[in-house]
Amino acid sequence: MSDYCRTCAFDVKAKAGPRACPFNLLYWDFIDRHRDRLARNPRMAQMVRTWERFAPERQEQLRQDAARFLNTLA
């Protein structure tokens, strides 16, 4: 397998913060924003349950980090 992230400025292992991989942040942000609809999908329901098991502080940190990243694109 290739390591496409090798030269990336972000840290794929960081779960939150300014160096966290934006793909991870945006994934969880998407799950959060669409959790009602995704919870009805058998393939995505498990990820919604995973999101719901995150501590509220972690959920909020992911939301803030995703919003900060999206604001850099505008």
Q: What is the pLDDT along the chain (74 residues), one digit of tens a residue?
A: 567 888 888 888 888 888 889 999 999 999 999 999 999 999 999 999 999 999 999 999 999 999 999 999 97
The residue type of 20 is A
Domain ranges of the chain: 22-73
Fold adopted by 22-73: Arc Repressor Mutant, subunit A (1.10.10)
Check residue 47 and give its pLDDT: 97
Neighbours of 16 (CB within 10 A): 17
* 3-class secondary structure per residue, 19-67: CECHHHHHHHHHHHHCHHHHCCCCCCHHHHHHHHHCCHHHHHHHHHHHH
**This model's pTM is above 0.95:** no
Please state, in angstroms and rounded to a whole number, the distance separating the CA atoms of residues 74 and 70. Answer: 7
Q: What is the DSSP letter of 68?
A: H
Check residue 1 and give its pLDDT: 53
